[in-house]
Amino acid sequence: MPHIKKKLTSSNFFSDVYEVVKLIPKGRVTSYGAIAHFLGTKSSARMVGWAMNGCPKGVPAHRVVNSSGLLTGKHHFKTSKTMQTLLEKEGLKVSKDKIIHFDDVFWDPTRELSIK
């Protein structure tokens, strides 16, 4: 990335979130809570969602949903259907704003990245 504007005071936490989100394999999803736990702020999944508020390009925020597999953040995308469309494009199935087989496609950073 050429000119990344550093926001001082913040970014650190946000940066970590973005990194993890970018690492989510295609066709997989994770939850805010899982990321929060991975970053250490396990009790504050809200911070993760907040971080996504400024999600720069390149961050597949659509792969991040709440613990129920619900597309809670779809309203923050260009259009309400963007998130679901993107997910379906990656091979996931979404019904009523909820990911089907969520357990099968769930990608846990604390397990996939940290292990051992």
Partner DNA sequence: CTGATGACGTGTG
Partner DNA sequence: ACACACGCCATCA
Q: Which residues contact DNA (rule: CB under 7 A)?
A: 7, 9-10, 12-14, 31-34, 36, 41, 43-50, 52-53, 55, 61-62, 64, 66-68, 72-73, 75-77
For DNA, the closer CB: 26 or 77: 77
Give the integer Cα–Cα distance in Å for 18 and 12.
Answer: 10
DSSP output for 47-63 = HHHHHHTT--TT--GGG
Contact status, residue 58 vs residue 22, Cβ threshold 8 Å: yes
Of 55, 58, 94, 107, the residue nearest 77 (C-alpha) = 55
For DNA, the closer CB: 68 or 79: 68
For DNA, the closer CB: 9 or 116: 9
- Minimum CB separation of residue 76 from DNA in Å reads 4
- Minimum CB separation of residue 3 from DNA in Å reads 19
